[in-house]
Amino acid sequence: MKKKIIIPIVILLVLVICGLTWFILNNNKIVSTITLDINPSIELQLNKNNEVVNVIPLNDDAKVIVDDSLEGLDLNNALDKITHNVIDKGFVKDFTTIIIHAEGINNREVETVLSKSFEERNIQTNIIVVENVTKEDEEFASKHGVSPAKASYINTITKENENIDAEVLIEKPVDELEETKQRGVYCDTGYTLDGDFCIKELRREPLKDGQVCPEGYFEQDGKCYEQAEGTTTEKLVCNRDWVLEDGKCYFRETVNAIAAKMECTKGVEKTKGELEGTDSDEKVCVDLSKATHPVSPCEANDGTEYTRANGKCYWHKAPIIASGCPGKVKVNGFCWDDASNVLICKGYRDGRRYKSRDEYCEHSIKIIEPTVTEYRCEGDFILEGNKCKREIVEDPHNEKICPSGYTLLDSGHCINKKKTVNKTNGKYCENPNSKVENNECIIYDIIPVRK
């Protein structure tokens, strides 16, 4: 009797378990996928009820904003929570560009939900819908660790701008990719687009207290001038002192070359030490053709007072005193210094010394400039004859035009030189290539955009 009761119960349990398993598997079956590229890149996998089954972070930024709590939420709530997280973590401020791609669900449905979610938080969006992803896009995405949608958008940009390498754009945020597509300009890896320039953060410094220009004014040469936004045109131009040729900007510079090797093609080579009686080993060229040798004071014939006795020469006459001639020699009724071993140059005057180590009189030696036989250049200069030349090539940038009455500075700012104000107490960045953010000075390396 018991066996007859147990068998139906076992069968019922099996049917229940099978039914639950089928229900769970059926509910967890992935029927659609959505990828979002904000800068965090996320993939959502949904079931037939538009409920999130899996959440896959596609880059490191995405790992910060997704967790298991998204699983089980319907699409609306999942996108709303993602919107909250990207804003809360500082990835989005007043405006953001988003790339979306959906398979198994209408792209426009996702766009509508996402746009509404951001609008409710007072953030404007530019949503780019990628309708189709090719095998080429998928291979690029797999190789470089980006979403297929972002890969597709990058490939679209590079096909329209053949001068841009796709790999340069991999790490770029979506907002920057949009600007690259619209303007055809880009920055090398590590740099970020900022108007007509590429910037890269170098370091951060604390703000300094001091006198600063009020908001809306720009400091130039110590004065505060009213500034305004300029506009760009399609015309390509170069920075000041650069020349535009064949679509490229050239900066050319010529300086005198440095003497690397010199020879005495006239005269003979001596050292300054030999000529001056010093230890200097600096080489000089000298003309000794008219040089004279030093002579004894008795042979100078230049007004030096001297006397001869016993075949010797004496000079520096002095009277005999009671003690005789201390340190001197008595000759012909006077005291003298023995000058038999002294050599001087004719023209000896006022304590000046004209005797040199090689026994030539300095004042009769003619110094000759040596001939340079070999030149060299420093840095990236190239030697051409006795000149050093270099040429730097960069891409031009779009011309910037200031409103009427405003002057365009090399920094790219438009200022009105007739409208000035006094500085006020405040905080400022000492380095000109910097921006203020979160009470810090961010110091940047700034270069022109590439095209």
Express each pLDDT in 90-112 by its tens digit: 888 888 899 999 988 888 888 89
Domain edge (last residue) among 120, 140, 160: 140
CB contact at 8 A, 104 and 32:
yes
Q: What pLDDT was estimated at residue 11? A: 56
Residue 192 lies in a domain: no
Tell me, yes or no, whether 14 lies in a domain.
no
Same domain, 213 and 293: no
Q: What is the mean pLDDT of the chain?
A: 85
Measured in degrees and rounded to the nearest 5, phi and psi for residue 183 equal -105, -15
Last residue of a domain, one of 110, 140, 170: 140
Examine residue 103 and state whether it is found in any structural domain, yes or no: yes
* Parts of the chain with a pLDDT under 70: 1-27, 347-358
- Boundary (domain end) residue, out of 93, 111, 140: 140
CA distance 107 to 128: 10
DSSP 169: G
Is residue 71 assigned to a domain? yes
Residue 450 located in a structural domain? no
Same domain for 269 and 371? yes
Residue 229 structural domain: 208-238+396-428
d(CA 284, CA 276) in angstroms, rounded, equals 12
- Identify whether 198 is part of a domain: no
Task: Give me 51's structure tokens.
Answer: 């409920």
Torsion angle (degrees, nearest 10) of CA 175, 435, 65, 31: 0
Angle at 211 between CA 441 and CA 429, to 5 degrees: 10
* Whether residues 359 and 291 fall in one domain: yes
Is the domain of 293 the same as that of 221? no
Cβ(438)–Cβ(386) below 8 Å? no
Residues 54 and 87 in one domain: yes
- Looking at the fold, whether 288 and 355 belong to one and the same domain comes out as yes
| Token reading at 243 | 């020349």
Residues 43 and 134 placed together within one structural domain of the fold: yes
Same domain, 266 and 336: yes
Residue 161 belongs to some domain of the structure: no
Q: Is residue 130 part of a domain?
A: yes
* pLDDT score, position 21: 46
Same domain, 266 and 370: yes
Same domain, 303 and 342: yes
Q: Are residues 336 and 371 in the same domain?
A: yes
CATH number, domain of 39, equals 3.30.1180
- Would you state the pLDDT for residue 350? 46
**Count of domains forming the chain:** 3
Pair 314, 232 in one domain: no
Instruction: For the chain, state the CA radius of gyration.
Output: 44
